[in-house]
Each structure stands twice: as C-alpha cells, then as structure tokens.
Structure 1
Amino acid sequence: MELTECVNYLLSVSQNKVFKHFSGLLEQFGLTPAQYGVLNCLWREGQLSPKQIAESMHLEATTVSGVLDKMQKAGFVERSIDPGNRRNVWVVATPKAISIREQVESATAQMNQAALQNVSPSDRAALLRGLTAIVETEL
C-alpha cells in the first residue's frame, strides 16, 4: 500500500497541520487546542464532571485531569465538590473563559476555513461525514 493511501498517515499529517495552525490562533488567548475542547464542552453544557468531559472528547480521564489542572491554574475553569455526593466533582467555565468565547469561536471558524480552503463544499460535507463515521466506529 502506498503511504498516501494509508488512513493513519493521512489523518496524522492532516491533524498535525491543523493542530499547529489552531495552536497559533489560540496562543493569543493562552489556550491550547485541548483546552479549547474542554471549554467548548462547558460553554455548551454548563457544568460537567471530568468524566463527562473525557467521554465527550473521547479522551482518557487522566488526560482530562491534567488539562483541567492547567486550566484551573490559568483561571479558565473552576472545580467544586458536589455537596450532594462528595465523590463527584463539577467543572464550570469561569467569567474569564466566558468573556473570550466569541473570539475563540471566531478563531475556530478561521481555522476551519483555512484547513478546508482547497476543499469543495460537497467534499467538505463528505469529509465531515467520513471523519464523524471514524470517530463513531469501534476499533
């Protein structure tokens, strides 16, 4: 098989290019792409547990825990113990994180536009469907 026909190769190279570009756009906000993912979950859902965030982002809970630690230190999230069940922790976006939402979502749209600039509208829709199908596939 040619390397350019290998799904892993194509996804890896594409992801690396998009990640670098997105990282540059988010740098002005003091965010990483992973931290953006966490904020996106919180902006849409409000209060979530670390486990819910991990499930939504298809990540391990330990990975999310490390991201949350850095985000809390930077003032983007707050964690609190559920008074009804002390084993549960809740995560919320801080006012600082809420105040940059519109600008960060604009940067995200810029990243999408840049990444897909050479892809026709019909191919964009097919690409998004295909990537979603891969995400939803049990491997």
Structure 2
Amino acid sequence: MELNECMNFLLSVTQNKVFKYFSKYLEESDITPAQYGVLNCLWTEGKISPKRIGELLYLEAPTVSGILDKMQKLNLIDREIDPNNRRNVLVTSTEKADQIRNAIKKASNEMNKHVLQELTDQEKEALKKGLFKIIKTELSY
C-alpha cells in the first residue's frame, strides 16, 4: 500500500499539523490542546468526574489524571469530593479558567477557520461526518 493511501499516515499527519497549529493559537492563553479539551467539557457539562471527562475526550484514566494534575497546579481546575458519593471526585473550572474562556473560544474558531479554509461547506460537513463515523466504529485489536 502506498503511504498516501494509509489511513493511519493520513490521520496522524493531519492531526499533528492541526495540533501544532492549535497549540500556537492557545499559547496566548497558556494552555495546551489537551487542557482545552478538558475545559471545554467543564464549560459544557459543569461539574463532572474525571471518568466522564475521559469518556467525552476518548482518553484513558491515567491520561486524564495527568492532565488534571497539571491543570490544578496551574489553577485552571478544582477537584472536590462528590457530596452524594464520597468515593467520587468532581472537577470544575476555576475563575482563572473562566476568565480565558472567550479567548480560547476565539482561538478555537480561528483555528477551525484557518484549517478548513480550502474546503467547501459540503467538504467540511463530509469530513466531520466521516471522522465521527471512525470515532464511533468499534475497532478490535
């Protein structure tokens, strides 16, 4: 198979390119794309568990834990014991994180606009639809 026909190659190169580009946009807010994902979950869902963050971002528990540890040190999130179940932890965004919300939203919108600028509206929708289908497909190893 030609490299340009390999889905792993195409998706990896594309993801790396977009990741680097988005990282530059987020530098002003001093966060990473992974931290953006967590904050987006919190702003959308409110107080949620690390497990739920992992589900929403398709990340394993140790990865989520590492991201949350760094974010807590940066005062971007708070963790508290769930009053309804003391074995659970709930995560919320801090005032510091909420203050950069608009800048992050703008960075995300600008990044999408730039990355997708060469695509027609129909191509953008087809791309998103195709990527979501891949995300939802169960791949056995």
| Deviation >3 Å, runs of 4+ | none
SS in 2 for 1:87: strand
After superposition, what is the alpha-carbon deviation per residue over 1:17-41, rounded to whole angstroms, capped at 9, x for unaligned?
A: 0000000110111100000000000
Give how far 1:60 is off. 0.1
Aligned to 1:93: 93
Q: What is the alpha-carbon distance in structure 2 between the residues aligned to residue 14 and residue 114 of structure 1?
A: 14
Residue 8 of structure 1 aligns with an amino acid whose one-letter code is N
Q: What is the alpha-carbon distance in structure 1 between the residues aligned to residue 121 and residue 88 of structure 2?
A: 44
The question of 1:109 aligning with 2:109 is answered: yes
Give how far 1:118 is off. 1.1
What TM-score, normalized to structure 2? 0.96
The question of 1:130 aligning with 2:130 is answered: yes
Residues paired across the two proteins, number: 139
Q: What is the alpha-carbon distance in structure 2 between the residues aligned to residue 71 and residue 38 of structure 1?
A: 9
Give how far 1:83 is off. 2.6
Q: What is the alpha-carbon distance in structure 2 between the residues aligned to residue 114 and residue 14 of structure 1?
A: 14
Q: What is the alpha-carbon distance in structure 2 between the residues aligned to residue 9 and residue 115 of structure 1?
A: 18
Give how far 1:121 is off. 1.2
Give 1:78-89 correspondences, 5 Å limit. 78-89=78-89
Structure 1 residue ranges without an equivalent (≥5): none
Aligned to 1:67: 67
Give how far 1:99 is off. 1.2
Give how far 1:91 is off. 0.1
Structure 2 residue ranges without an equivalent (≥5): none
Please tell me the root mean square deviation across aligned C-alpha atoms, in Å: 0.7
Give how far 1:122 is off. 0.7
